[in-house]
Amino acid sequence: MFSWLWSDPLPAGSAAPDFSLPDESGCIVHLADLRGSIVVLIFYPGDDTSVCTKQLCQFRDEWGEARARGVEIFGVNPQNARKHGEFRRKYGFPFRLLVDEGQKVGALYHTNGPIVKRTVYLIGRDGAIRFSRRGVPAPRDVLSNAV
């Protein structure tokens, strides 16, 4: 019954599960289309909450470094496009927020549950996970794996 609570994130070296999700504007993001790019996925519990806002603002503030390394960043949670759009505009996030309705992608990435398990993944150009960690890892720690 509580097995979701103790699940680990997908380990580095494993293949990143493919997905297609809409962003806050309704545009579909296909992970397969990003092959050849480095991708960061930030699974977070809620828009406009204190820890989530702080975490995403840290990645916003490191946007220049992410772009210099050729990294695409996406926030992911099950909230709707309207809430994502408001949240993105309010804090000036340069990256898109994806709507994971029903936490279907969260299940693939072991982040699903009554509350999304805060987890950050970095996916390499080859589609393999290079970094995975629960909590709020510093953007520099995540981006240092972007090679």
Question: What residues are labeled active site?
Answer: 52
Closest CA to 73 of 100, 95, 48, 98: 95
- Do the beta carbons of residue 38 and residue 73 sit within 8 Å? no
Integer Cα distance of 63 and 52 in angstroms:
17
